[in-house]
Homo-oligomer: A and B are copies of this chain.
Amino acid sequence: MPTAPPTAVLGAGSWGTALAISLARAGHPARLWARREEAAAEIARTRRNEAYLPGADVPRTVEVSSDLEAVVGGAAVWVVAVPSQSVRAVVAPLAGRIENETVIVSVAKGIETDTLLTTSAVLRDVLPAADAGRVGVLYGPSHAEEVAQERPTSVVAALPDPDTAAFVQDLFMTPSLRVYTNPDVVGVEVGGSVKNVMAVAAGMSDGLDLGDNAKAALVTRGLAEITRLGLALGADAHTFAGLAGLGDLVVTCFSRHSRNRAFGERVGRGETRAEALGHSTMVVEGVQTTASVRALARRHGVEMPITEAVWSILFDGLAPRDAVEALMTRSAAPETDPARGPAFDGTAA
């Protein structure tokens, strides 16, 4: 039996590394691109990526390289696993490498700050030769550490072309990684990206020690905000009650693994944005996403009070406790108030 064409995972952070490991374990040829040559050499030699995914073994079948052109050469699927604000710069040079059949799946979660585009939109923009039906995302509640440990995980493959979505579903499916499909690409992208803003808010709530009741109310209002923005962008409301909406929001707001939540907790405890970011070399997507989501919400006239509060804390010096006061003391209202925006405003207030 001829070997299937390889899958190229672009980005050797925790999630890119975990997906390459998962593909290899499932018997699929996989390549992993690391930006820095030393990092690629280290992973290839030690079969570990201690900086980003400590303790996980990288199978020998995973080809690791810092040569981007070589990594995508002949690959049937590109998995874009770099920080969302780096997607354009990393992928643009590969525009000439696109073939008719190339499938491109982004696992980067965020909104490009300059253009306010989701990552699949950025990919369509920089890869005009790509078949738009084959460009999408793989999102959901999936902390890399747990996927590497083969703990049960469920994600969503969102691509416009149904056959391509089914192909991506089969490619990533393993006994511990369940893959569902959803044609609502923008909905899945909004859910997976904006949840990082809510994770920062949830972390602030933890840092202020507000308790579980407050965080549950925050998550509820957060999903209402995410849903309102998604609907304004043409998403299907049902997507936000699914894995890429509720599921990803819940895991990132409550998990100890969440970098965005941990960052918010430090800010809640009084650290500045810069101080809180200084604790990790990993990108905290929620910071830039807060700025782009706020701009997107204002452009579309969507009310997003939590996002506004997080933005004011991170970029305008508002004290976290004052922001909470402001959110808590808004006049109480009927739980579902049409004046507060469309469906799911579970706690309009």
Closest residue to A348 on the B side, CB-wise? Answer: B180
Known: A180-B334, A180-B347, A334-B182. A143 touches B212 (CB 8 A): yes
Closest residue to A344 on the B side, CB-wise? Answer: B241
Interface with B: A62-70, A114-122, A248-256, A309-317, which one? A248-256
User: A219 to B238, Cβ gap below 8 A?
Assistant: no
Taking a contact as CB atoms closer than 8 A, the residue among B180, B183, B220 that contacts A243 in the complex is B220
Chain B contacts for A211, CB-based, 8 A: 143, 146, 149, 151-153
Chain B contacts for A247, CB-based, 8 A: 216-217, 219-220, 346-347
User: A335 to B152, Cβ gap below 8 A?
Assistant: no
A19 to chain B, nearest CB (A): 14
Interchain residue pairs with CB less than 8 A apart (7): A146-B211, A152-B210, A152-B211, A152-B328, A153-B217, A181-B335, A243-B346
Tell yes or no: A147 within 8 A of B by CB.
yes
Taking a contact as CB atoms closer than 8 A, the residue among B242, B254, B345 that contacts A336 in the complex is B242
The complex places the Cα of A154 from the Cα of B210 at a distance, in Å, of 12
A 243-265 binary contact with B (CB < 8 Å = 1; else 0): 10111101100111100000000
Chain B contacts for A151, CB-based, 8 A: 210-211, 213-214
A 157-178 binary contact with B (CB < 8 Å = 1; else 0): 0000000000001000101101
The complex places the Cα of A196 from the Cα of B216 at a distance, in Å, of 15
Tell yes or no: A293 within 8 A of B by CB.
no
How many A residues face the partner with a CB closer than 8 A?
65
Tell yes or no: A283 within 8 A of B by CB.
no
The complex places the Cα of A223 from the Cα of B141 at a distance, in Å, of 15
Chain B contacts for A125, CB-based, 8 A: none
User: A343 to B210, Cβ gap below 8 A?
Assistant: no
User: B242 to A220, Cβ gap below 8 A?
Assistant: yes
Taking a contact as CB atoms closer than 8 A, the residue among B154, B179, B332, B347 that contacts A213 in the complex is B154
Tell yes or no: A349 within 8 A of B by CB.
yes
Tell yes or no: A103 within 8 A of B by CB.
no
User: B332 to A216, Cβ gap below 8 A?
Assistant: no
